């Protein structure tokens, strides 16, 4: 009986001690986390909120991360290096409110693990961007970039190249992978999925359509009719113009313009000397004047490119600027005024027939009438010509007929003050550069000639 009483007393003492310990521990967990409590993989059991937050901050700043490609470790760094700035205060407060401190014995067996740290990891963007820029540069050294399938020109034809799967990292994908890994990984961040991938493959309908269109353009027959000449644009030239970029068939504007410029250089007449069959001196070389035409290269380039891209054969005359364009390979033609300074004589031919010839007086030595292929660009009655005499005095000479032929003030007009014309009179009594003509003759010329008529002075 006595032994039984002692046993009961001992059991009661143990029970009281255990209960006391339970109460004591329960009171302790009022301010700390229950045992085996993990936050983002870090054990904070027995820690206060402040202690747990400090522990988590230290852990994530010092945590080592490694970028892994298959079995290969590419780069290791700490959270602090990547700008990790953890703050678990809100999560820890929520966890503290949710825990039941009286259930700590059960917690010893089961434990608690919270969600990963993604919502509690702040990233200092400036620090991260600096780290990431250096990491991307280092990681992509020696790697092969992926390439989209593309239309390529080869041996006078068009083919589609295959896409290339490279192992170079995509700046956007790698950045997202690392940022996600900082918050969700235990240290290893797999980056193989962050490669740049081709976005266009060889079976692309866009590429196939482009090849078809390019071939159609390449096979166009493009013909120019220029000043009586027929010029067929070589297929090789058309081929050199064609381009395909950014999903669009186009033409190389610089090359098209260069071709138009070459046509202009070959066929245009402006700023070029002429071989002219004169009345008395045979064939003479006459320097360029204001008469002549050229291709408007800017306008023609734009128009030609638009026509070529239509993919149809066509013939066209280029956009012309200037004067004298014709279709018989001669811009002077057979209607013109001829002024022979050596013979001091002028002729006017219309449709190849002589209409007028007369002696004239051209510029005196030192004020010679400029040689050149010019044209009558205006006709005026009763004009007053003004200028400066040799002695520096001004003159104003009224004339009945005035036909300017260049842009320096030179023209054909009557000269009632001249007592005679032709011969050597011009050497001592020549004009200031104009072609002085007898009144009766210039009146006849004025009535017969049209503005735009070439004037060949030599």
20 has a pLDDT exceeding 70: no
Distance CA 99, CA 113 (A): 12
Q: Greater confidence, 416 or 182?
A: 416
> Which of 279, 281, 288, 278 minimizes the C-alpha distance to 331?
288
Question: 397-411 pLDDT, tens per residue?
Answer: 999 999 999 999 999
Range of lowest pLDDT (55-69, 224-238, 339-353): 55-69
Give me the active site residues, please: 413, 434
Task: Identify the band that residue 222 occupies on the pLDDT scale cut at 50, 70 and 90.
Answer: very high
Distance CA 234, CA 219 (A): 10
205 and 125 in contact (C-beta within 8 Å)?
Answer: no
147 and 166 in contact (C-beta within 8 Å)?
Answer: yes
Q: In 10 A of CB 344, how many CB atoms?
A: 21
Task: Identify the band that residue 10 occupies on the pLDDT scale cut at 50, 70 and 90.
Answer: low
The predicted model gives 168-192 an average pLDDT of 89
Which domains does the chain show, CATH number per domain?
Answer: 205-322 (3.10.20.800), 336-457 (2.40.440.10)
Residues 6 or more apart in contact with residue 256 via CB below 8 angstroms: 241, 301, 304, 305, 308
Q: Which residue has the tokens 């988590």?
A: 56
Angular region, 289: left φ>0, alpha ψ -120 to 50, beta rest: beta
Residue 196 confidence (pLDDT): 93
> Which of 161, 158, 139, 140 minimizes the C-alpha distance to 150?
161
> Which of 200, 118, 114 minimizes the C-alpha distance to 162?
200
Question: 81-98 pLDDT, tens per residue?
Answer: 999 887 778 887 887 888
Task: Identify the band that residue 111 occupies on the pLDDT scale cut at 50, 70 and 90.
Answer: low
57 and 133 in contact (C-beta within 8 Å)?
Answer: no
Task: Identify the band that residue 35 occupies on the pLDDT scale cut at 50, 70 and 90.
Answer: confident
Residue 87 confidence (pLDDT): 75
CA 258 from centre of chain: 18
18 has a pLDDT exceeding 60: no
Residues 6 or more apart in contact with residue 389 via CB below 8 angstroms: 395
Write out the chain in H/E/C secondary structure. Answer: CHHHHHHHHHHHHHHHHHHHHHHHHHHHCCCCCCCCEEECCEECCCCCHHHHHHHHHHHHHHCEEEEEECCEEEEEEECCCCCEEECCHHHHHHHHHHCCHHHHHHHHHHCEECCCCCCCEEECHHHHHHHHHHHHHHHCCCCCCCECCEEEEECCEEEEECCECCCCECHHHHHHHHHHHHHHCCCEEECHHHECCCCCCCCCHHHHHHHHHHHHHHCCCEEEEECCEEEECCHHHHHHHEEEECCEEEECHHHHHHHHHHHHHHHCCCCCCEEEECCCCCEEEECECCCCEEECHHHHHHHHHHHHCCCCCEEECCCEEECCCCCCCCCCCCCEEEEECCCCEEEEEECCEEEEEEECECECCCCCCCCEEEECCCCEEEEEEEEECCCCCEEEEEEEEEEECCCCCCEEEECCCCCCCCCCHHHHHCECCCEEECHHHHHHHHHHCCCCCEEEEC
Residue 27 confidence (pLDDT): 66
Residues 6 or more apart in contact with residue 123 via CB below 8 angstroms: 82, 83, 84, 85, 179, 182
Task: Identify the band that residue 441 occupies on the pLDDT scale cut at 50, 70 and 90.
Answer: very high
Question: 350-372 pLDDT, tens per residue?
Answer: 999 999 999 999 999 999 999 99
What does residue 387 show for φ and ψ, rounded to 5 degrees? -175, -160
Q: In residues, how long is the chain?
A: 458
Residue 55 confidence (pLDDT): 85
Mean pLDDT, the chain, whole residue set: 90
Residue 4 confidence (pLDDT): 67
Distance CA 152, CA 261 (A): 27
């Amino acid at each position: 009986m006595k032994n039984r009483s002692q046993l009961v007393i001992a059991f009661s003492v143990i029970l009281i001690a255990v209960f006391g310990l339970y109460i004591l521990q329960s009171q302790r967990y009022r301010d700390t986390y229950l045992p085996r409590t993990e936050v983002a993989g870090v054990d904070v059991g027995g820690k206060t909120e402040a202690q747990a937050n400090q522990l988590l901050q230290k852990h994530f700043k010092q945590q080592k991360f490694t970028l892994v490609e298959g079995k290969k470790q590419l780069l290791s760094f700490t959270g602090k290096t990547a700008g990790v700035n953890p703050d678990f205060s809100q999560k820890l407060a929520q966890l503290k409110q949710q825990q039941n401190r009286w259930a700590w014995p059960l917690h010893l067996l089961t434990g608690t693990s919270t969600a990963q740290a993604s919502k509690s990891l702040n990233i200092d963007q400036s620090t991260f961007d600096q780290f990431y820029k250096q990491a991307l540069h280092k990681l992509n050294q020696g790697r092969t970039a992926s390439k989209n399938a593309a239309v390529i020109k080869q041996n006078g034809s068009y083919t589609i190249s295959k896409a290339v799967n490279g192992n170079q990292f995509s700046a956007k994908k790698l950045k997202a992978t690392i940022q996600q890994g900082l918050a969700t990984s235990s240290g290893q961040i797999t980056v193989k999925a962050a490669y740049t991938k081709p976005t266009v493959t060889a079976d692309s309908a866009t590429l196939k359509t482009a090849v078809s269109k390019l071939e159609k353009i390449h096979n166009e027959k493009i013909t120019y009719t220029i000043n009586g000449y027929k010029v067929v644009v070589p297929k090789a030239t058309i081929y050199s113009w064609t381009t395909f970029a950014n999903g669009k068939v186009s033409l190389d504007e610089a090359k098209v313009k260069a071709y138009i410029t070459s046509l202009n250089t070959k066929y245009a007449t402006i700023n070029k000397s002429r071989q002219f069959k004169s009345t008395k001196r045979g064939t003479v070389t006459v320097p360029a004047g204001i008469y002549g035409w050229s291709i408007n290269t800017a306008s023609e380039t734009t128009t030609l490119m638009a026509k070529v891209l239509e993919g149809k054969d066509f013939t066209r005359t280029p956009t012309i600027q200037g004067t004298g364009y014709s279709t018989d390979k001669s811009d002077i033609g057979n209607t013109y005024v001829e002024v022979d300074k050596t013979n001091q004589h002028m002729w006017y031919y219309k449709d190849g027939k002589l209409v007028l010839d007369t002696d004239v007086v051209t510029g005196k030595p030192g004020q010679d009438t400029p040689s050149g292929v010019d044209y009558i660009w205006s006709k005026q009655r009763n004009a007053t010509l003004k200028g400066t005499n040799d002695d520096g005095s001004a003159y104003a000479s009224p004339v009945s007929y005035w036909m300017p032929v260049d842009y320096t003030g030179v023209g054909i007009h009557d000269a009632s003050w001249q007592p005679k014309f032709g011969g050597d009179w011009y050497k001592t009594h020549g004009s200031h550069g104009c072609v002085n003509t007898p009144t009766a003759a210039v009146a006849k010329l004025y009535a017969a000639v049209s503005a735009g008529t070439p004037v060949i002075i030599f």
